[in-house]
C-alpha cells in the first residue's frame, strides 16, 4: 500500500487501526462523550467513540440527541478543538529558584508527546494547517507547538453530518478534506452496511493502514462517498459570502454597526476559546512570598479582554464594539495580510457557543450590505 491508495475497511476494524497507532507509540485522541457534548479525549478502544449520537446546533444552542443508527461519526464538531493538545491553555515556559549569587534553572525538558488525532473534521485539519502558517511566520516563538505538531498522526473523517451553524463549504474547507492528512475516512453506514472508505495520504498512513484488514475500493464505494459529501454540502446551516469581504471589512472601521453588535456582545471570549485557529496568548510571571521561586507561564488570552490591548497609559480597545470589530476584522480580513489565508474555517463553533447567539456569518453579511461597491 502507498500514498494515494483507497481501500475499504469494516467498521469493527477501526479497533485494529487504533491498536496499530498505539503500537507505534501514539497517544490517541478522538471524540468522546463528556459533559453532554462531543469532546476531545483519549481513546482507549472503539467503544469510546460516540456511536449512535448526533448534535443539534444553532446560535447559542447545542444539544445531543440519539440517531436511528450506530454511526460512529454522525455529528459535526464539539466545543473544544484539537488545538488544546498542540498548544495547551497553560504552559510553564521557565521556572527558577534564587541561590547565592544568582539563580538555578528548574525548568525540566518537556517529554515529547506523539499524538494521533483520530476523527479530525476537514475544517479542523484546515485550522491546523492555518496554525502551522501562524507559527511558521512567528519562527522561534513556540518550539513546544512545533515538537508536538511534527510528531502528530492525522486521521480525518469527512463530514456527512453538518450542523446548523456549519459553513465550511463557503470557506472551501469541507465537507471533504483537503491534503495534509495521513488517513482520511468516509463513513458509509445504512442498509445493513457499516464500512469506511479510507484514503491514504502519507507513507506513515500507508504503513498503518496496511496492518488493518481491508479490501480494494470499488467504483460503487467511491460513488457512495461522493454522493454522501455532495448531500452534506447541500445541508450547510450557514453561508458566508467571501468575495470582496476583506476589502469591505477594511473599509468598515468607523461603521456604527460595531456599536450595535456591542449591545449584544458580552465580551466573554467564548468565541476565541472554542475557535480552532485563534492563537492569542499572554505571559504571566508569578513568585512565592519568600522571593525564592519564580515561574513564567504562557496562557491563552483573548482579544475580547480589556487587558489584551493594554499599553503604557491604558487599553487601546476599551469598548465592546472595538473589541468585536478587532476579532472579526482580524479573522476575516487582516489575517490574509499576515498569513495569506482567512483565519476562519467555517466550523461554526463561535456561533454555537456564543451565549448571546451572535453569528459571524450574519455580521459579515451586514458589513457587505453596508459597504458594498462604492460604499
Q: What pLDDT is stored for residue 105 in this prediction?
A: 86
- 37-56 pLDDT, tens digit per residue, is 999 999 999 999 999 999 99
Q: Mean pLDDT throughout 224-231?
A: 96
* pLDDT band with cut points at 50, 70 and 90 for residue 101: confident
Distance between CA 140 and CA 158 in Å, rounded? 33
pLDDT at position 5: 94
* pLDDT (0 to 100) of residue 311: 84
Q: Grade residue 141 by pLDDT with cuts at 50, 70 and 90.
A: low
**Cα separations (Å) of 23 from 27, 86, 308?**
10, 21, 43
Across all residues in the chain, what is the average pLDDT?
92
Residue 245 predicted with pLDDT over 80: yes
Instruction: Determine the distance from the C-alpha atom of residue 366 to the mean position of all C-alpha atoms in its chain, rounded to a whole number.
Output: 26
Q: Is the pLDDT of residue 156 over 90?
A: yes
Helix axes 203-210, 14-23, angle to 10 degrees: 120
Q: Name the packing angle between helices 320-329 and 360-370 (round to 10°).
A: 90
pLDDT at 192 (0 to 100): 84
- pLDDT for 372 beyond 90: no
CA distance 77 to 328: 21
For residue 251, pLDDT over 80 is answered with yes
* Per-residue model confidence (pLDDT) at position 190: 80
pLDDT of 109 reads: 67
59 vs 164: CA distance, rounded Å: 8
Instruction: Give the whole-angstrom CA distance, residue 361 versus residue 169.
Output: 13
The mean per-residue pLDDT over the stretch 10-32 comes to 96
> Predicted confidence band at 140 (pLDDT cuts at 50, 70, 90)?
low
Least confident of 170-184, 197-211, 310-324: 310-324
How far apart are alpha carbons 4 and 17 in whole angstroms? 18
CB-count burial class (<10 Å; 0-12, 13-18, 19+) for 211? middle
pLDDT at position 374 is 40
Judge if the upstream peptide bond of residue 286 is cis by omega within 30 degrees of 0.
no
Q: What is the pLDDT of residue 373?
A: 46
Cell, residue 215 = 479490501
> pLDDT tens for residues 54-82?
999 999 999 999 999 999 999 999 998 88
Position 340 confidence tier, pLDDT thresholds 50, 70, 90: very high
Mean pLDDT within 342-356: 96
pLDDT, mean of residues 19-28 = 95
Residue 15 CA to chain centroid, in angstroms? Answer: 25
In the predicted structure, residue 218 carries a pLDDT above the cut 90: yes
Question: Three-state SS for 246?
Answer: helix
Question: Under a CB-based contact definition with an 8 Å cutoff, are residues 352 and 59 in contact?
Answer: yes
Q: What is the pLDDT of residue 139?
A: 60
Q: Give me the pLDDT at residue 375, please.
A: 41
Exposure on the CB side of residue 296, measured as CA atoms within 13 A: 8
Closest to 118 (Cα-Cα) out of 40, 171, 57: 40
pLDDT tens-digit map of 253-298? 888 899 999 999 999 999 999 999 999 999 999 998 888 899 999 9
Q: 321-328: which pairs have CB atoms within 8 A and are 24 or more residues apart?
A: 321/258, 321/259, 321/261, 321/262, 321/265, 322/258, 323/265, 323/267, 324/258, 324/261, 324/262, 324/265, 324/267, 324/358, 325/252, 325/253, 325/258, 327/271, 327/272, 327/303, 328/249, 328/360, 328/363, 328/364
The per-residue pLDDT for 126 is 97
pLDDT over threshold 50, residue 111: yes
- Find out whether 155 and 117 touch, Cβ atoms under 8 Å: yes
- Look-up: residue for cell 448571546? 356
Does the pLDDT at position 238 exceed 60? yes
Cell of 300: 491563552
- The answer to whether residues 160 and 76 touch, using CB atoms and an 8 Å cutoff, is no
Given a cut of 60, is residue 91 above it in pLDDT?
yes
pLDDT at 177: 96
Amino acid at each position: 500500500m502507498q500514498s494515494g491508495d483507497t481501500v475499504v475497511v469494516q467498521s469493527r476494524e477501526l479497533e485494529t487501526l487504533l491498536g496499530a497507532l498505539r503500537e507505534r507509540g501514539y497517544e490517541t485522541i478522538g471524540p468522546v462523550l463528556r459533559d453532554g457534548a462531543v469532546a476531545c479525549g483519549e481513546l482507549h478502544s472503539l467503544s469510546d467513540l460516540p456511536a449512535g449520537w448526533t448534535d443539534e446546533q444553532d446560535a447559542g444552542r447545542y444539544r445531543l440527541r440519539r440517531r436511528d443508527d450506530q454511526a460512529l461519526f454522525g455529528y459535526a464538531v464539539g466545543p473544544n478543538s484539537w488545538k488544546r493538545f498542540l498548544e495547551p491553555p497553560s504552559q510553564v515556559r521557565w521556572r527558577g529558584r534564587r541561590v547565592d549569587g544568582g539563580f538555578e534553572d528548574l525548568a525540566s525538558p518537556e517529554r515529547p508527546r506523539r499524538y494521533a488525532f483520530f476523527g479530525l473534521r476537514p475544517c479542523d485539519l484546515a485550522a491546523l494547517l492555518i496554525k502551522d502558517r501562524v507559527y511558521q511566520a512567528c519562527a522561534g516563538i513556540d518550539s513546544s507547538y512545533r515538537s508536538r505538531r511534527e510528531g502528530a498522526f492525522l486521521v480525518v473523517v469527512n463530514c456527512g453530518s453538518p450542523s446548523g451553524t456549519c459553513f465550511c463549504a463557503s470557506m472551501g474547507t469541507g465537507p471533504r478534506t483537503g491534503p495534509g492528512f495521513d488517513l482520511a475516512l468516509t463513513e458509509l453506514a445504512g442498509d445493513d452496511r457499516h464500512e469506511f472508505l479510507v484514503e491514504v495520504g502519507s507513507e506513515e498512513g500507508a504503513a498503518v493502514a496496511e496492518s488493518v484488514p481491508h479490501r480494494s475500493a470499488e467504483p460503487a464505494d467511491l460513488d457512495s462517498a461522493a454522493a454522501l459529501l455532495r448531500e452534506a454540502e447541500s445541508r450547510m446551516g450557514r453561508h458566508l459570502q467571501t468575495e470582496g469581504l476583506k476589502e469591505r471589512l477594511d473599509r468598515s472601521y468607523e461603521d456604527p454597526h460595531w456599536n450595535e453588535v456591542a449591545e449584544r456582545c458580552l465580551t466573554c471570549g467564548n468565541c476565541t476559546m472554542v475557535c480552532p485557529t485563534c492563537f492569542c496568548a499572554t505571559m504571566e510571571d508569578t513568585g512565592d512570598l519568600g522571593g525564592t521561586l519564580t515561574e513564567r507561564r504562557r496562557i491563552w488570552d483573548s482579544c475580547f479582554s480589556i487587558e489584551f490591548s493594554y499599553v503604557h497609559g491604558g487599553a487601546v480597545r476599551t469598548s465592546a464594539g472595538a473589541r468585536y470589530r478587532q476579532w472579526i476584522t482580524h479573522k476575516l480580513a487582516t489575517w490574509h495580510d499576515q498569513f495569506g489565508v482567512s483565519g476562519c474555517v467555517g466550523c461554526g463553533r463561535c456561533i454555537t457557543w456564543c451565549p448571546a447567539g451572535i453569528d459571524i456569518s450574519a455580521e459579515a453579511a451586514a458589513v457587505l450590505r453596508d459597504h458594498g461597491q462604492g460604499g
